[in-house]
């Protein structure tokens, strides 16, 4: 939603007229406080008029700076915030694929863990030790689901704020800044627009983007390995068929090692999950803190009085 700058222009013009009246009234009744207040409002109105007049240039400059801050990490044409949204969209897609692979591996491990060889006098569960690995994969799947949720939230927030920052919040800040009673709010909206549009996405992109290709290839290799495919239901009553299947899954001469491959897959998953944690949680948190500091400092500049405080009255 774009905000019409005509409103801002009218308000700035009225504030200039009002400040002139205050200066005249102050001189007429000999009140230096009213005169000084009128001068302060006149200075603020002139600054607001300059900001409104230079709005198009400010937006264009901010957009170009945002594109430059993106550097070589171009995912989508546009500024840094559009590029960051694209990065998180791709990351969400890759995280979803990783989650599917993890769930498939978990189901495979849980299946073979439950196999039992039942003899007349006793029964054994050869892969019972896989229960701990199954628990690890379950935790991995839950973690990936939470990361996927946070990544999608990030995409939705960026999709909302991206088009609005320079076309709605920034002009709205100019309007609020024209009134002394809402000047701090106006300064905050201006600082918010600049900080979120330029600084926030740039600080996030400082962190390395997760590389999930190796993990996806490892999980795909596990799923496509014919030695690890699930046995037909009819063979589950055949101890010899189950034993033969288990032997084929641990055939070292043929370089087939189910336990080793599962352990390696968990190692890849752990590495991928840690990189996702950094980029989806720590990077936005770090950038958000820096942006908050920036917004506070810029708010003090645009939302404060330059010479005379309103409290003088």
Do 114 and 26 share a structural domain?
Answer: no
Do 207 and 256 share a structural domain?
Answer: yes
Do 122 and 13 share a structural domain?
Answer: no
Do 63 and 41 share a structural domain?
Answer: no
Instruction: Specify burial of residue 252 (Cβ count, 10 A radius: 0-12, 13-18, 19+).
Output: exposed
Do 47 and 58 share a structural domain?
Answer: no
Cβ-based neighbours of 83, under 8 Å, separated by 6 or more: 70, 73, 74, 75, 76, 201, 205
- Domain extent for 31: 1-53
Q: Over its length of 313 residues, how does the chain's per-residue pLDDT go in tens digits?
A: 445 567 767 777 777 777 788 788 888 888 778 777 777 777 777 777 777 776 667 667 766 666 665 555 556 666 778 888 888 999 999 999 999 999 988 988 888 787 776 666 666 667 777 788 889 999 999 999 999 999 999 999 998 888 888 788 888 888 888 777 788 898 899 889 888 888 898 889 888 889 899 999 988 888 887 777 776 655 556 666 666 666 666 665 556 677 788 888 999 999 999 999 999 999 999 999 999 999 999 888 877 665 544 444 4
Do 226 and 129 share a structural domain?
Answer: yes
Do 219 and 122 share a structural domain?
Answer: yes
Do 151 and 92 share a structural domain?
Answer: yes
Do 38 and 67 share a structural domain?
Answer: no
Do 174 and 218 share a structural domain?
Answer: yes
Among 18, 36, 53, the domain-final residue is: 53
Do 131 and 19 share a structural domain?
Answer: no
Q: How many structural domains does the chain have?
A: 2
Do 30 and 167 share a structural domain?
Answer: no
Closest among 194, 251, 172 to 79, alpha carbons compared: 194
């Amino acid at each position: 939603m774009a905000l019409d700058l005509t409103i801002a222009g009218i308000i700035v013009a009225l504030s200039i007229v009002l400040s002139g009246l205050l200066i005249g009234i102050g001189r007429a009744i000999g009140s230096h406080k009213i005169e000084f207040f009128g001068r302060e409002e006149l200075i603020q109105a002139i600054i607001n008029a300059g900001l409104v007049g230079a709005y198009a240039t400010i937006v264009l400059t901010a957009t170009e700076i945002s594109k430059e801050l993106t550097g070589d990490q171009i995912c989508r044409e546009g500024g840094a915030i559009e590029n960051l949204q694209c990065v998180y969209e791709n990351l969400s897609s890759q995280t979803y694929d990783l989650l599917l692979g993890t769930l498939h591996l978990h189901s495979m491990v849980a299946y073979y863990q439950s196999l039992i060889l039942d003899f007349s006098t006793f029964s054994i569960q050869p892969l019972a030790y896989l229960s701990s690995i199954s628990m690890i994969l379950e935790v991995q799947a839950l973690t990936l689901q939470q990361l996927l949720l946070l990544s999608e939230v990030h995409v939705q927030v960026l999709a909302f704020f991206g088009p609005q920052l320079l076309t709605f919040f920034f002009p709205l800040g100019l309007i609020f800044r024209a009134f002394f009673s809402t000047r701090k709010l106006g300064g905050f909206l201006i600082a918010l627009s600049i900080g979120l549009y330029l600084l926030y996405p740039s600080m996030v992109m400082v962190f390395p983007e997760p590389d999930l290709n190796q993990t996806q290839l490892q999980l795909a290799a596990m799923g496509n390995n014919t030695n690890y495919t699930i046995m037909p239901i009819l063979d589950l009553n055949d101890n010899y068929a189950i034993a033969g299947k288990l032997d084929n899954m641990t055939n070292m001469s043929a370089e087939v090692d189910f336990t080793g491959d599962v352990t390696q897959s968990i190692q890849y998953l752990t590495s991928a999950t840690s990189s996702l944690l950094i980029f989806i949680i720590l990077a936005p948190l770090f950038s958000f803190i820096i942006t908050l500091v920036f917004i506070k400092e810029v708010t003090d500049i645009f939302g404060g009085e330059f010479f005379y405080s309103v409290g003088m009255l």
